[in-house]
Amino acid sequence: MPISESSKPLIHVQDLTKVFRAQKLKEGMLGALKNLIRRETYDVVAVDKMSFDIAEGELIGYIGANGAGKSTTIKMLTGILLPTSGDVEVAGYIPFKQRRKYVRNIGVVFGQRTQLWWDLAVIESFKLLGRIYEVPDNDFKKRLTELTELLALEEFLNTPVRKLSLGQRMRADLTASLLHRPKILFLDEPTIGLDIIGKARVRDFLRQINEREKVTILLTTHDLDEIERLCERIVIIDHGRKVFDGELARLLELNVPTKKMLVDFVTDPAEGDYANLGPRGITFRRTDEYRGEFTYERARIETGELIQLITQLHAIRDLHIEEPGIEDVVKDIYAGSS
């Protein structure tokens, strides 16, 4: 969803920077002694002049390699970390200055940490969070019923958090982050360690709350399949700097200009049957009996139109579109930005 000039973005980030001071440690016994007497430090730039706007209702993929600055950005956006410089405004609040009021408008899930009480039953953690966020009893019960149904929580509501499986804990953490109906949900590696079924359940849930409730979601993940299935827009960072911000389709168009279509025919094609498509940027190669491969430029012709052209000469039994995954595309971007 593009941000129009007349509408104010829900999240505004301008030249956001975070610098950490690190200690330079010397090796050996003499080095250890010097470390005690005189500490040498140096600056580590985790996030470097990051800028982007996010409109209400967007579901953004925020991706990068380990150490790229994703989690540091999330911590500044949620008010956990104080920026070194730059501006950040979320839902009309400056997170690190107005944190008490601000947190009522956001939900946060860190995949490797839980916000639930370890020895309490899940339902008791939810009740405590409802009181902390001052959710009225009727609203709390209604919201918990909705989320219990959406995330299939019934089977473990009375189980202590420490006895939950990873997938159950993640569903409980998602529920905890949404009990107070926040406008924005920050997710930092929410499916890390989950199996295929667990990831699919979380993905379906995120899609539903984004579409039904217009919850704005900023998602960081290493699971690029997750990005492809959920996000139309992605922001890619490398060494704290933004290297791409735009639609996923645009990323593929810029970095993967051609697509391949593998076709199983009903009748056996000849090598030259589709020679007339050459001027349109389409090449055909017969790969086996009753099989062939079309290479075409995504900017010049739609897949549906190409299928129509193919079937004018030969009926199709089956087809498969082959293109590199986003992981390969991102690797190429990293290589070009380094």
> What are the structural domain ranges in the chain?
11-252, 257-322
pLDDT digits (tens, 9 = 90+) for 242-259: 999 999 888 877 777 888
Angle (CA) 100 75 63, round 5°: 140
**CA–CA distance, 310 with 267 (Å, rounded to integer):** 12
Token match 């217009």: residue?
214
Strands 216-220 and 184-188, by their bridges, are: parallel
Q: Quick count: other Cβ atoms within 10 Å of Cβ 66?
A: 7
**CA–CA distance, 183 with 180 (Å, rounded to integer):** 9
pLDDT digits (tens, 9 = 90+) for 272-327: 999 999 888 899 999 999 999 999 988 888 889 999 999 999 999 999 988 766 66
**CA–CA distance, 189 with 109 (Å, rounded to integer):** 8
294 phi-psi bin (left φ>0, alpha ψ -120 to 50, beta other) = beta
With beta carbons less than 8 A apart as the criterion, state whether 218 and 187 touch: yes
Using pLDDT thresholds of 50, 70 and 90, give the confidence band for residue 200: confident
Angle (CA) 127 215 328, round 5°: 115
Give the chain's length: 338
257-322: CATH topology: Alpha-Beta Plaits (3.30.70)
Task: Return all residues near 174 (Cβ < 8 A) that are at least 6 apart.
Answer: 109, 147, 151, 190, 202, 205
11-252: CATH topology: Rossmann fold (3.40.50)
pLDDT digits (tens, 9 = 90+) for 2-15: 444 447 899 999 99
Using pLDDT thresholds of 50, 70 and 90, give the confidence band for residue 88: very high
**CA–CA distance, 192 with 220 (Å, rounded to integer):** 11
